[in-house]
A and B are shown apart, each in its own frame.
Chain A
């Protein structure tokens, strides 16, 4: 009874199908953000664009880094560098659940044989001052996505509300492709003259980064970089709204937010190096959150953030 989809053969085919699917549903297919982030949510296309009144629909792959999850490429499921697929639509459409289920079908999950469930999971990002309600989506007991209706970002209420979908690509692909160890997963088509596995591409880097993250990264330098990013972020936001050179209103929310992302990633590295005590942890998270809030405050003052010249009066 179902219109079955041919099963995908590789990791990249699953990504390509998601791109095609969400493009066909009207999303702007963006490219990954060009900075180190811990999750797809950090991309300004999600964090900043979920703020303000302007409609938005974007989908993208985001390479994400979680230094503490590094296992030298040996753990079948854990990586310090992995991919997330992220969709953000504002306002959240009434059929978002159906759209999402359609994407699972598109990547080869036979909806007649699997058990898909929406299990309560409220999302909160203390570093972004953000929270939302939603679910983790289970396929046969495995979490394949996070589904969230954003309620607050950077301390601002979301109006309208964005619907956010996050797919953990490696885990999802391993399940669809029937692979037990991430490094064994075919990255490109296994039938091509030069078949490459996930391990061919990432085993080397997982080892290198695990060593650097855990044992080598210079913590003094990192601590300094954290301070610098924090200072720069604030300095950017302290600038006058009107640019003295062009005479235009140019609030630099994005450059400031880059510094916030940077501080967040450096914090993650310091955490992996084990130099942050439990009590200090909260303090660092609070500092990054303060930056995220200031960036959000700035963004809603921009045109993209919904500001209108008449608001000035």
Chain B
């Protein structure tokens, strides 16, 4: 059984695309081979900056012969039908069989497809793979029509078995399949032939190419940590950077360089970001001080001077880069210390969204909301407001312009250099958090107020302009924002009614939209006009003509007046947005709790209860219910409840009445019936005050204690008694069960 070796040799493939490309090559080729009947024992893909390589071992040397039988029309069918059948089968009349069947003589075609040699199939599959390869971005070059990530230079495609190797005959757009490749561009130029995968990888290693990306990454990481360790230092781990750098070299050589003394006092994150983003350097830290003192660069070659020239060049480039960073840092500090309002004012010219105005407009909304939220989360109102006003000021700084990923962090540094409260500085960094589901949630009250307000504003804003996430599309990361708010509330155990805090956010964003979205404004104005008496409408029209020609400030005032007057018009809109947004939060909450093992039906049972916009309360209820249902009593109580509920519902439908008049113990006939009355009395006495105190655990365990009496009741008692009084009394007793259970959670929502 032969082995197959494929190498697609091109100009430098972007590092970020290599891994995926290796996987795609393996998948496309092996799928194609298997589909054509060529099975194999194992396959592996490798990538370097200049090549995608695939080795497939233990391949069939030809595809198996296949035999397919097709049933056709009757032998005496019309000529046309028979012709069609023959054409489809690719056979002539004398090549098909006539067989007797219960329906008469029927034509049968036996189509035999002979196996094809592996080489033929490989050539087809490889060509199709190359022509349809899913590069994230591909290009043409020269005069040809072929597309590849960068110009494709050669295709190595050989089959190897005991007898030796052979080139698979084939070509793609003038590139003929061959058995040669190239080594390192500079250290081993020139082409050489190979005979097998082992021969290929051995010769590449001699030609200064490490084929396996993970081997290159390991070498880089080991050499880097050793070099750092020898100097009493440590490399700052960065897996993304390591993978990228391993994709930039075929022959990694680690070099450690110095950072100029002038730059050592820059914040470590600035050094790290500048070195990583611009130079793809690793940072090397002094574990004692936490300062970044050196860098690691990875060259693609060895040199006679052991990398001295390369390192000197890299150090020089770094100095120029860091000189820029230092310049930004010092300029920014000057602004921060003298008057940061220069930065916040500059945000007036930065559009946040063309329907919602500038970043400065947005900051005003966040500040107002943060102030409103402050008492709820235990923050000082003035501090929360000021923190919100400054939290995004660093977006105007030179450093953040250069390195957007440092937003927030630079804000903390810059505010930290002023006289302002440390809580305000911390909020600048914290207010973007939590970013991911595993990101830490801020706990400092001022940070929490600003973080909540920031996300609530963006959510209410995008709901007001109706740009909600759909399917997989969520360009503004609104799901993440909602989950962030959910976690901020739950993990800090803050109690608030979301619907109430949506209110001002929605109102402010509607105002913003009226100002910035002309079409929306015109539409709302029409709606408003339609509800006015004629005389008022005429006055308004006259006014409007003047206004349209007036200055922007007058127009703004006019719009605010309109908005105020048209409160009724917006009331319904606001209400719809509030409900829809709350449902969105509930969805996020379900995802969040599902990961913590709480079933969605349990959450639904709690969402159906009052005060469902207080997420902390909602979750407290859901947890208690989840725990109760996990017990034997709880699980069985649900069955009892459902049984009671079903019987009752059916009876109510059949009788056309509601059985809620209170059962009377005096009509009880069986001891189990009496016992249930007593059990309900006891449970009610516990549940009501516990619910009042929001002590769901007590309430639910009291509810679960009904399991025994309910089960015994159903065991012994026939609901549909002959005596109608007794029957009604029993139905009313079931109603008590239902009412009591539903006062705890909507158990009808529980599945199973």
A residues near B310, Cβ cutoff 8 Å:
113-115, 140-141
Asked whether B300 is an interface residue with its Cβ less than 8 Å from the other chain, the reply is yes
- In the complex, the answer to whether B186 meets A113 with C-beta atoms within 8 Å is no
Quick one: which of B1-55 are within 8 Å of A by CB?
Answer: 11-12, 14-16, 49
Binds B, one of A117-125, A186-194, A227-235: A117-125
**Contact, CB under 8 Å: A133 / B301:** no
A91 at the interface (CB under 8 A from B): yes
Known: A112-B304, A278-B349. A135 touches B143 (CB 8 A): no
Contact call B139/A132, Cβ cutoff below 8 A: yes
CB distance from B10 to the nearest CB of A (A): 11
Contact between B320 and A111 (Cβ–Cβ < 8 Å)?
Answer: no
With A111-B186, A112-B304, A140-B317: A161-B351 Cβ-Cβ less than 8 Å:
no
User: CA–CA, A95 to B606, complex, Å?
Assistant: 69
A97 contacts B by Cβ under 8 Å? yes
The answer to whether A175 touches B151, judged by C-beta atoms less than 8 angstroms apart, is no
Question: Which one, B14, B142, B303, B351, contacts A279 given CB within 8 A?
Answer: B351
Asked if A118 and B11 make an inter-chain contact with CB atoms under 8 angstroms apart, the answer reads yes
Q: Measured between alpha carbons, how far is A92 from B313 in the docked complex, in Å?
A: 31
Do B12 and A118 touch across chains, with their CB atoms under 8 A apart?
yes
Question: Known contacts A132-B139, A149-B139: does B11 contact A175 (CB below 8 Å)?
Answer: no
Q: Among B11, B297, B304, B354, which residue has its beta carbon within 8 angstroms of that of A113?
A: B304
| Contact yes or no, B309 A97, CB < 8 A | no
- Cα A157 to Cα B312 with chains together (Å): 42
For residue A286, give the distance in angstroms from its CB to the closest CB of chain B. Answer: 15
Do B313 and A114 touch (CB < 8 A)?
A: yes
Given A117-B248, A122-B137, A133-B150, are A175 and B142 neighbors across the interface (CB < 8 Å)? no
A283 to chain B, nearest CB (A): 12
Bound-state Cα–Cα, A219 to B151, Å: 46
A122 to chain B: which residues have CB within 8 Å? 137
> Is A142 engaged at the interface, CB distance under 8 Å to the other chain?
yes
A94 to B14, CA, bound (A): 19
- Is A115 within 8 A of B15, CB to CB? no
Give the docked Cα–Cα distance between A140 and B16 (Å): 21
- Chain B, range 127-181, C-beta contacts under 8 Å to A: 137, 139-143, 149-151, 153
- Does B217 interact with chain A (Cβ within 8 Å)? no
Query: Nearest Cβ distance between residue B486 and chain A, in whole angstroms?
Result: 33
Distance A117 CA – B279 CA, assembled complex (angstroms): 12
Question: Given the complex, which residues of A lie within 8 Å of B583, measured CB to CB?
Answer: none
Shortest Cβ distance from residue B180 to the other chain A in the assembled complex, whole angstroms: 16
Separation of A94 and B141 alpha carbons in the complex (Å)? 9
Cβ of A204 < 8 Å from any Cβ of B? no
Interfacial residues of chain A within 106-153, with CB under 8 A of chain B in the complex: 110-120, 122, 132-135, 139-142, 149, 151
Please state if B11 and A97 are interface contacts (CB–CB under 8 Å). yes
Interchain CB contact under 8 A, A77 and B317:
no
Interface presence of A246 (CB below 8 A) = no
**Using Cβ atoms and an 8 Å threshold, which residues of chain B touch A119?**
12, 248, 280
| A118-B12, A120-B15, A149-B151 known; A175+B313 contact, CB < 8 A | yes
Please give the distance in Å from A61's CB to the nearest CB on chain B. Answer: 24
Task: Find out whether the CB atom of B314 lies under 8 angstroms from the CB atom of A140.
Answer: yes
- With an 8 A cutoff between CB atoms, is B350 at the interface? yes
The answer to whether B314 and A141 touch across the interface, beta carbons within 8 angstroms, is yes
Q: A97-B11, A175-B313 are in contact. Are A141 and B318 (CB under 8 A)?
A: yes
Q: Which residue of B lies closest to A141 (CB)?
A: B314
Asked if A94 and B151 sit within 8 Å, CB to CB, the answer is: yes
Determine the distance from Cα of A146 to Cα of B90 in the docked complex, in whole angstroms.
Answer: 57
B305 interfacial by beta-carbon distance below 8 Å? yes
Scoring B16, B248, B281, B354 by chain A CB atoms within 10 A of each residue's CB, the highest score goes to B248
Tell whether A93 is near chain B: CB-to-CB under 8 Å.
yes
What is the bound-complex CA distance between A278 and B352, given in angstroms?
A: 11
Contact A93 B142, beta carbon cutoff 8 Å = yes
A113 touches B14 (CB 8 A): no
Residues of B within 8 A of A77 (CB): 320
- How many chain B residues touch A (Cβ–Cβ < 8 Å)? 43
Give Cα A279 to B249, complex, Å: 41
The answer to whether A76 has its CB under 8 Å from any CB of chain B is yes
Within 8 A of B (CB), among A262-284: 277-279
Residue from the list B151, B281, B301 in contact with A115, Cβ < 8 A: B301
Complex interface: chain B residues within 8 A of A111 (CB)? 186
* A residues in contact with B140, CB < 8 Å: 149, 151, 158-159, 161
| A141→B143 contact, CB < 8 A | no
Does B299 count as interface, using CB distance less than 8 angstroms? Answer: yes
Given A97-B11, A115-B300, A160 contacting B143 (CB threshold 8 A) = yes
Question: Which residue of chain A is the closest to B149 with respect to CB atoms?
Answer: A133
Residues from chain B with Cβ under 8 Å of A116 in the complex: 186
Give the residues in chain A near B12, CB-CB below 8 Å. Answer: 117-120, 135
Query: Nearest CB to that of B314 among chain A residues?
Result: A141
Bound Cα distance from A133 to B16, whole angstroms: 14
- The reply to whether A114 and B142 contact each other, CB–CB distance below 8 Å, is no
Chain A residues within 8 Å of chain B by Cβ, number: 39
Check A141 against B303 for contact (C-beta < 8 Å). Answer: no
Question: Assuming A118-B11, A140-B314, A141-B318, is B142 touching A92 (CB within 8 A)?
Answer: yes
Residue of B nearest to A178 (CB): B316
Q: Known contacts A94-B151, A113-B305: does B139 contact A133 (CB below 8 Å)?
A: yes
Q: B313 contacts A120, CB within 8 Å?
A: no
Chain A hits for B153, CB < 8 A:
94
In the complex, what residues of A have CB within 8 A of residue B186's CB?
Answer: 111-112, 116
User: Known contacts being A113-B305, A116-B186, A135-B12, is A91 close to B143, with CB within 8 Å?
Assistant: yes
Determine the chain B residues whose CB is within 8 A of the CB of A135 once the complex forms.
12
Closest to B312 in A: A140
Residues of A near B297 (CB, < 8 A) are 141
Indicate which residue in B150, B151, B279 contacts A141 across the interface (CB closer than 8 Å). Answer: B279
Q: How far is the CA of A122 from the CA of B249 in the complex (A)?
A: 19
- Most B C-beta atoms less than 10 A away, residue of A77, A119, A135: A119
Bound-complex Cα distance A175 to B310 (A): 12
| A275–chain B nearest beta-carbon distance, Å | 11
A112-B304, A117-B248, A278-B350 known; A142 vs B143 contact (CB < 8 Å): no
Q: In the complex, what distance in Å separates the CA atom of A52 from the CA atom of B297?
A: 43
Interface centre among A112, A117, A120, A163 (most CB of B within 10 A): A120
A59 to B304, CA, bound (A): 34
Most buried by B among A116, A140, A141, A158: A141
A-side contacts of B312, CB under 8 Å: 140
Docked-complex contact B309 and A114, CB < 8 angstroms: yes
Query: How many Å lie between the Cα of A141 and that of B299 in the bound state?
Result: 9
Q: Are B318 and A117 in contact (CB under 8 A)?
A: no
**Given known A77-B320, A94-B151, A149-B151, contact A113–B303 (CB-CB < 8 A):** yes
CA distance A224 to B276 in the complex (A): 44
Query: Are the CB atoms of B303 and A112 closer together than 8 Å?
Result: yes
Contact residues, B327-350 vs A (CB, 8 A) = 349-350
The residue in B139, B151, B299 that gathers the most chain A C-beta atoms within 10 A of its C-beta is B139
Q: Mark A92-104, 1 if CB is under 8 A from B, else 0.
A: 1110010000000
| Interchain nearest-CB distance for B618 vs A (Å) | 42
A211 to B689, CA, bound (A): 79
Closest B-chain residue to A160, C-beta based? B143
5 shortest A-B CB distances, which residue pairs?
A: A140-B313, A120-B14, A118-B12, A160-B143, A141-B314
A-side residues, CB < 8 A to B, are 76-77, 91-94, 97, 110-120, 122, 132-135, 139-142, 149, 151, 158-161, 163, 175, 180, 277-279
Which residues of B are interface residues toward A (Cβ below 8 A)?
Answer: 11-12, 14-16, 49, 137, 139-143, 149-151, 153, 186, 248-249, 279-281, 297, 299-301, 303-305, 309-310, 312-314, 316-318, 320, 323, 349-351, 354
Jot down 15 A-B pairs with beta carbons below 8 A, ordered by A. Answer: A91-B143, A110-B309, A113-B309, A113-B310, A114-B303, A115-B299, A115-B303, A118-B49, A119-B248, A141-B281, A141-B314, A142-B313, A161-B140, A161-B141, A278-B349
Given A141-B297, A149-B140, 13 extra CB contacts under 8 A: A92-B151, A111-B186, A112-B186, A113-B304, A120-B14, A140-B310, A141-B279, A142-B317, A149-B151, A151-B139, A151-B140, A161-B140, A278-B351
